[in-house]
Amino acid sequence: MEWEPQVSTSIHIPGASVSFSKTRWNGVAAALSHFYHESVGRHQIEQLFEKRHNDIRKLINGLDKTTEKAVSGRTELLEQLRQQLAVLFRMKERVIYSKLRTFGDEELDRLVTRHCEEHRIFEEWLNEIGQVDPTDPLWRARFEILRDSLERYLHREDSRTLRLVDALLTEQQKLSLKADLRKEEEGISATV
């Protein structure tokens, strides 16, 4: 779809907590209006990640319930979490975020850059936690920081970013995105 720059202003999308410069093309006003007025409902893009996000939440909860005595359980669950997040992050970076960057909007680019940086930090934290003895109280302290940050990240993705993507894309673009996500997931899962 070709962009037609028009009024340069700022739009705040309730529930998305993101503002971006208004660059319009045919159909975007309707998509944003739909997003603005829809306070309840299942969003297509959000649904694509729902199971993966829930699986990650289960791993976090499982890790949270472990004790210092469950050394092998902690190690195994942490590795599963690392693998699940690696797949999730690559899928979002290579498909979702790259699609957001095509809009050519500074605010959307900042949002994408922030999410990519969060991914890098989460991966660093997971590596650091993996280096700490699971019986050391430092392990629990680092895990709790990671847990809280991941919960905020997943909530923000579920309630804002993915809904924003859903609102900005046409039905055809969503179908294409779904196909790209499936291909990417298969390719990434094979390498992790």
pLDDT in the model for residue 146: 97
Of 17-21, 46-50, 83-87, 179-183, give the lowest mean pLDDT range.
17-21
pLDDT in the model for residue 23: 44
Residue 170, both tokens: 């046409």
What is the distance, to the nearest Å, from the Cα of residue 2 to the centroid of all Cα atoms in its chain? 27
Hunting for tokens 């893009």 — which residue is that?
45
Give CA–CA dist 188/127, Å, rounded.
19
Contact in structure between 89 and 130 (CB atoms under 8 Å): no
pLDDT in the model for residue 70: 87
Higher-confidence residue: 112 or 24? 112
Q: Considering the chain, what is the average pLDDT of its residues? A: 80
pLDDT in the model for residue 43: 67
Higher-confidence residue: 30 or 107? 107
Give CA–CA dist 69/7, Å, rounded.
61
pLDDT in the model for residue 3: 38
Hunting for tokens 């050394």 — which residue is that?
71
Q: What is the pLDDT of residues 10-56, one digit of tens each?
A: 444 444 444 444 443 334 444 444 444 443 334 678 888 888 999 99
User: Environment class of residue 162 by beta-carbon count within 10 Å: exposed (0-12), middle (13-18) or buried (19+)?
Assistant: buried
User: Environment class of residue 13 by beta-carbon count within 10 Å: exposed (0-12), middle (13-18) or buried (19+)?
Assistant: middle
pLDDT in the model for residue 9: 36
Q: Angle at which helices 171-191 and 71-91 pack, to 10 degrees?
A: 140
Q: How confident is the model at residue 160 (pLDDT cuts 50, 70, 90)?
A: confident
pLDDT in the model for residue 46: 82
pLDDT in the model for residue 192: 63
pLDDT in the model for residue 191: 75
